[in-house]
Amino acid sequence: MRMGLQRILLVATLVGVGLFGLIQLVPYGRNHSNPPVLAEPRWNTPATRTLAAKACFDCHSNLTTWPWYSNVAPVSWLVQRDVDGGRSQFNFSEWNKPQDVSIGDAVDAIRGGSMPPAIYRLMHPTARLSGTENDALIKGLVATFAADPPKGGGG
């Protein structure tokens, strides 16, 4: 009986390793391009940009830092999906293009804790803004959006 359990575990392990190897061949999730920065907002202060860079730029700009695990499926699929989705919502690096965001939505997401997402904060300690930093980011984004709203009236 014990030998049968060991054999099942060995086969299951080999199948798992084989499947992990096979999913590495899926081409999605490793297109780690950072298109050129076309236009950033006119930031109200350099501090606002610094806070946005810490907490937002990996998904909401063309300045994404691609960590090592973004090359390993299935995590690479999730990272690519999040970056693609974030850039399509709004992109600080393409401020001259229409953006699908309002300052109210951005503030609500930051204040409510959904941005940056918890899993992102877990993997990126620098994105864990203190309460004071969160307040400063919100205040700075409100001022930035007021002075330089995103194209298309999204601000």
End-to-end CA distance of the chain, in Å? Answer: 67
Q: What is the per-residue pLDDT for 83?
A: 95
Is the Cβ–Cβ distance between 28 and 71 less than 8 Å? no
Mean pLDDT for the chain overall: 90
Of the candidate ranges 24-38, 86-100, 124-138, the one whose mean pLDDT is the lowest: 24-38
Q: Calculate mean pLDDT across residues 84-92.
A: 94
Q: What is the pLDDT of residues 90-121, one digit of tens each?
A: 999 999 999 988 999 999 999 999 999 999 99
Q: How far out from the chain centre does Cα 2 lie? A: 47
H/E run at residue 37: none
**113 dihedral zone (left: phi>0; alpha: psi -120 to 50; beta):** left
